[in-house]
Amino acid sequence: MPAALPDSAIYGKLMGDAEIGRLFTDAAEVRALLLVEGALARAQGAAGVIPELSGTFIHRAAMEVQIDPAGLAEGVAESAVIVPALVAAFRKVLDAPEHAPYVHWGATSQDIMDTALALRLRQAIAIMEARLARTIGALGTLAETHAETPMAGRSYGQIAVPTGLGAMVADWGRPLLRHAERLEALKPRLLRVQLAGAAGNLSAMDQGPAIRAALAQALGLHDPGGAWHAQRDSVAEFAAWLTGLSASLAKMGHDMVLLTQTGIGELRLASSGGSSTMPQKQNPVLPSVLVALGRHAAALNAGMQGAAIHGQQRDGAAWFTEWLALPQLVIGTGRALAIATELAEGVVPDAAAMRAGLDPDGLGLIGAEALSFALARHMPRPEAQAEVKALCKRALAERRPLPDLAAEAHPEADLAAAFDPARQLGTAPDEARAFARAAREAASAAD
């Protein structure tokens, strides 16, 4: 088994995300770091902190030079961070001794790396936002279309009472709307520059706060107003957001696994996997991947939350732990969103199977609760419950339908509604349509 499934030539299309994964390659990291170094030099040159000509030259060169990531490996193995080796390589390739000393003026490695990470996370978030919106839209359409499609509601894996397919879809979609809102609030706290120097006080940089503000403006990031080297709450918050979203998508996947299983078959997937030995198998592969990615996200998030505990002004071990977990968490969540979009747009409900699922044994037991409330109009509720429980036992023992037994016991009562699933949906249709409206409103607001 490869060490990292998202990067595997074998497993990458299953567990990886090429579009987001490219943001976490060695080449992408080097490019982002150079962009930050160039923008920093330009801001410092404009402010007179370094010669303006040097700032302009470094900025232009940072966008044009090519540095081989493999050539930085020895330096990283020695110092743990990429920036010293990158700066040395950049200065060498500049071949401009009058400008090279001003590269990385007054900054520390973490300044450049955290800012470069923010640039790449911004791109990843834009991709995820588009996928999330598309998934919500598809679920909204599905919920509205099937607002009044009855199906069995299940509790502990057992048939409980009738509900609507649209309401179940709304249960998948409503958390996604909340995740979208949370992300919008989180972005200003996450997508920030880092420029604070060795111990967070910009002691080696003249006009430090002004340079930080100018750097933020140049890169389209937020100015945090100070150092966040050892304040990782926003990174931890983002990790928790990714994990929560992955969990919500995994819930949808888990439900789809259950609803496509043999004997239920209330949903059909647009694509499924086969077995190496059993020709009849139609495995719910993509829903299962959603569940696996949700569990993996939870494991990675544990590391991310622990990594938020940084000691003093800088903490290498805690920071390195972020490197191990965060890229995998972002890529996994991106893949989960891509799968969720495909499933939401391609799933096919089987209304006939849902009708059959309402009464799989022909005994009408799904109407038991409704029957107890119907009888409670004529007798105390505890007595009604006790009588219906006894009737259910008789239905199972004698294999006679509960509606027939109830009609025999209470010929004077009109109990038909209790056994009509379409009349026992409660608020399910309204909930489905309310979610569909909210999905449309979210799409309109995004436009």
Residue whose token pair is 């029957």: 371
Residue 252's nearest CA partner among 147, 139, 155 is 139
- CA-CA distance, 165 to 145, in Å (whole number)? 9
Q: Report whether 221 contacts 255 (CB < 8 A).
A: no
Active site residues: 275, 314
Q: For residue 223, give the DSSP letter.
A: -
**Residue 156: burial class (beta carbons within 10 Å; 0-12, 13-18, 19+):** exposed
Residues 6+ apart with CB under 8 A from 332: 6, 15, 17, 242, 246, 293, 296, 297, 300
Secondary structure (3-state) at 209: helix
- CA-CA distance, 332 to 4, in Å (whole number)? 11
Q: For residue 221, give the DSSP letter.
A: -
- CA-CA distance, 165 to 5, in Å (whole number)? 35
